Amino acid sequence: MSRAIRVIDAQLVRRLCEPAAVRGWMREAMVATSAGQAVLPLRQALTLPDGKGRIGVMAGHLAPARAAGVKLVSLVPVERRRGSSHLGLAVLYDEDGLLPLALLCGATVTALRTAAVSALATEHLARPESRVLAILGTGEQAEAHLQALRALMPFSEARVWGRRPEAAHAFAQLHGTTGLPVRACADAAQAVDGADVVCTVTASPTPILMGRWLRPGMHVNLIGSSTPDAAEADDEAVARSRFFVDYRASTMAQAGELLGAIARRVVTAEHVQGEIGEVIARSCPGRRSDDDITVYKSLGIAAQDVMTARRVFDLASDQGLGQLVHL
């Protein structure tokens, strides 16, 4: 018996993902995850020989979405990359019979849902009067975070730094013409100095954000690293912060910043204050004072992918969009 699956490309995913709507989807997904309404095996990876890269596999089920999903993502060294840093496919399954419903651009789903949860964390952990945004990184996640955060808060200035100065200048030139001034900075310390919200969205395996740069009241979103042997922030940044995560189980297996600090006995596992879903649901306190330095460590979880895919699929189906392919 032939079944039809709806193919939803990157352009259509972006068209259907208005920032405020995606934040709402992610709010529901993160609260449900923290309430035990998701099944989330740890991310697994196939490592290819000779440094060719890895294929990551993320699978999960989310009860409020009435769906399950699997995302395949290729993680390739910069010098071998031929597109997005997270090229891949997301497959959505209806939970009734586990029928495949949709095939979506995994890179776009990843970029939009990750930035939306960072925006949620910023909404709940940053000071409301935050006005200066610093982004360390110049790739796809940098763009997604700029779009998501400026839709959330009335920032007056954005700064960007990248390991290649020309990339930072190109980013600032491209995105600084849409109402929010974007300034390229010569180094990461300059970008962070005086910022209220900092987002690290690099592929660096070693720290590019130092704890000595952080000032009382800052909020930091750590996004780029997702393996236990990689860290975008140093031990001091971890130790000085109220540290929040997306999902405890993956944090204790894959969050390099925290695991490194624990291994070096700078902090303990109890340094994790809570999951962002718990903060949103008000079962865990977030920022306690204007002087707190708050950190949200994002690893990304399949519940975010499943919810995004489900909502995009529903919108596309209602509007007759996407290409139906019979299997």
Instruction: State the residue range of the domain holding 196.
Output: 127-300
Report if residue 115 sits inside a domain.
no
Task: Write the single-letter amino acid at 174.
Answer: L
Report if residue 118 sits inside a domain.
no
Residue in this structure with the two tokens 């779009």, named with its chain if needed: 147
Residue 141 has φ and ψ, to the nearest 5°, of -70, -30
pLDDT of residue 83: 61
pLDDT of residue 258: 98
Could you give the CA distance from residue 214 to residue 149 in angstroms, rounded to a whole number? 20
DSSP H stretches of helix in 139-209: 140-150, 165-175, 188-192
With a cut of 70, list the residues of the chain below it in pLDDT: 1-2, 78-86
DSSP string, 235-265: HHHHHHSEEEES-HHHHHHH-HHHHHHHHTT
223 and 151 co-located in one domain: yes
pLDDT of residue 179: 81
pLDDT of residue 279: 98
131 and 274 co-located in one domain: yes
Query: For the chain, where are the E strands, in sequence order?
Result: 4-8, 38-39, 44-47, 54-62, 67-75, 87-94, 99-105, 132-136, 157-161, 182-184, 197-200, 219-222, 242-245, 272-275, 294-297, 323-326
263 and 322 co-located in one domain: no
Task: Count other Cβ atoms within 10 Å, centred on residue 164.
Answer: 10
57 and 143 co-located in one domain: no
pTM for this model (two decimals)? 0.94
104 and 237 co-located in one domain: no
CATH of the domain at 223: 3.40.50.720
Maximum CA extent, the chain: 62
Q: How many domains does the chain have?
A: 2
Q: Helix (H, G, I), strand (E, B), or coil: what is residue 108?
A: helix
pLDDT of residue 16: 98
152 and 194 co-located in one domain: yes
* Element counts in the chain: helices (H) and strands (E): 11, 16
pLDDT of residue 2: 60
pLDDT of residue 32: 98
